[in-house]
Structure 1
Amino acid sequence: MNASPKEICREALRERILLQELTPGAELDEGRIAAEYGLSRTPLREVFQVLAGEGYLRLEVNRGARVASLELGTLRAFLQSAPLILATTARLAAEVRGGEELEGLKAAQLRFQAALDSGDDGAAGLADHGFHAQVGEMAANPYMLPALNRLLIDQTRLSRGLYSPGTKKERKLVKKAVQQHEALIAAIESGAPDQAADLALQHWELSRGHLEGALRPDPLPMVPVAPGEGAA
């Protein structure tokens, strides 16, 4: 079944936000996007409403739609909440051990590995997003799933560059992430909730190191001042 223009637009905007092609806080040009996806204003606004409900956009009265920001308060809440949400979701997924959904998780891991092998950082980030979203689906908890999905939006946006490692240390971290995914699948499949929660926390710690590095870059080098310069 072919996707409708609304569905195509909705999925494309999700990906563009996750990849930061539409940057945090950016105002969306309603007319341009409507023309780009062949939509009139009414169905486009319906797309915006769905994405705002999911946490991708913020709708402003008389000002249209903006990409959800990554301001300080949001980042603090993200860093505080991530371990709890990720560990709880993994624990619940291991307790449920869904059959068909487990196969979906394994397929998501294959997509993640394929994206890494291709060297496409963006595709790998989206595949990692899909992997963790699938864990959330397996948890089958109507309260945790919205929280996880909202968390994953910011985690994916902040993870840009993680899957294009330039140093040996960074390549080891990516390899470790793959291994943690595989171990989490095994823990869920064997019905080991405590192990699944612990693996989710280990995986978060790996991601957190990258995120904190991105949020706290090295200072710019000092520019030498020639003798006599800067004096009043």
Structure 2
Amino acid sequence: MPALHPDLPVLAAGQPRASGRLGTRALYEQVAEQLRTRILAHTLAPGSWIDEQALAAEYGISRTPLREALKVLAAEGLVTMKLRRGAYVTEVSERDLAEVFHLLALLESDAARIAAQKATPAEITELLAIHDELESAIDDRDRFFAANERFHLRLLEIADNRWRIQVVADLRKVMKLNRRQSLFKQGRLEASLREHRLIMAALKARNAERARALMHKHLEAGREAAALA
């Protein structure tokens, strides 16, 4: 029997769990998380064929939970299922990026407007702390990328619309198939930081319309950088 993947404890067929209860996460969800991480890290490159047999052997599982995991990733836009050809990591076209950024600009700019109106002083302080990390991470691109994402997601949480959070989370997964390239474009990191400074100033000033307009402009600039990457 193939060695089990360390993060994927697997039951043999028909074997009951010792506790008699289901685990906290279904096996296919664990597999989906593993594959999602590899796709977003480009370990599985855009456009590459996903070898189900090899992955099932690597993880020490049957192909059933693997196929369920691929369905989850297909619903998120990270995997494309092709008739009689199997599953492929999604390739993001310029049109895909333009459409994703267009929706992000609409949704996140409105979130910035709401956050400027309703954020508590403690929440503004929290956003400032994340922004300070952006400032200090300008020479560390991976750290900058992580702090940038935390800032945007925290802003969405403050705006407090769970449907928007869910939609933006899925859009950002697709965006990340190309996002690092656009952030790494010459000068884009520094420009992104300047845009964040203005957004943060508008949030502190409780200027809702300016926060909205600046966030929209920020994401439009990201779209342009992605198109040129």
TM-score scaled to structure 2, two decimals? 0.66
Which secondary structure state, in structure 1, belongs to the residue aligned with residue 44 of structure 2?
Answer: coil
- The aligned counterpart of 2:46 is 24
Structure 2 residue aligned with 1:213: 228
Rounded Cα–Cα distance in structure 1 between residues aligned with 2:168 and 2:58: 30
Q: CA separation of 1:131/1:162 partners in 2, compared to 1, >3 Å: closer, same or farther?
A: same
1:153 to 165, 173, 181: 173
Q: Distance in 1 between matches of 2:51 and 2:129?
A: 36
C-alpha spacing 1:95/1:68, structure 2 compared with 1 (3 Å): farther
Pick the aligned partner of 1:138 from 158, 165, 178: 158
Unmatched segments (≥5 aa) in structure 1? 215-232
What residue identity is the alignment partner of 2:112?
A
Q: CA deviation at 1:88?
A: 1.9
Map of 1:196 onto structure 2: 211
Contiguous gaps of at least 5 residues in structure 2: 1-5, 9-26
Name the counterpart of 1:88. 110
AA paired with 1:81? L
Aligned ranges 1:167-182 → 2 under 5 Å: 170=187, 173-182=188-197
Q: Could you say which residue in structure 1 is the equivalent of 2:19?
A: none
Shift of 1:52: 2.6
Question: One-letter code of the match for 1:177?
Answer: S
Deviation at 1:200, TM superposition (A): 0.7
Cα distance between partner residues in 2 of 1:40 and 1:106? 47
**Inter-partner Cα distance in structure 2 for 1:4 and 1:102:** 37
TM-score between both structures, scaled by the size of structure 1: 0.66
The 3 A distance-change label for structure 1 pair 193 and 39 is: farther
| Aligned partner (choices 108, 129, 140) of residue 149 of structure 2 | 129
3-state DSSP of counterpart to 2:224: helix
The answer to whether the 8 Å contact 1:19/1:160 transfers is no
Which residue number corresponds to residue 226 of structure 1?
Answer: none
* Partner Cα separation in structure 1 for residue 183 and residue 98 of structure 2: 24
Q: Say if 1:118 and 1:77 are closer, same or farther in 2 by CA, change over 3 A.
A: closer
CA drift of 1:37 comes to: 4.1
In 2: Cα distance, 1:74 partner to 1:151 partner: 10
Residue type of the alignment partner of 2:153 = A
Offset at residue 60 of structure 1 (A) = 4.7
CA distance in 1, matches of 2:222, 2:141: 18
Give the counterpart letter for 1:89 in structure 2: A
Report which stretch shifted further, 110-119 or 20-29: 110-119
- Distance in 2 separating the partners of 1:94 and 1:15: 33
Q: Secondary structure at the match of 1:23?
A: coil
Q: 1:100 to 1:15 in 2, by over 3 A?
A: farther
- Structure 1 residues 71 and 125 mapped into 2: Cα distance closer, same or farther (>3 Å)? same
Give the count of matched residue pairs: 205
2-structure distance, mates of 1:162, 1:203: 13
d(CA) in 1 for partners of 2:84, 2:220 = 41
Q: SS of the residue aligned with 1:20? A: coil
Contact 2:92 2:178 survives alignment (8 Å): no
Distance 1:24 1:197 in 2: 33
Code of the residue aligned with 1:50 in structure 2: it is V
1:49 aligns with 2:71: yes
RMSD across aligned positions (CA): 3.6
TM-superposed CA distance for 1:100, in Å, is: 7.4
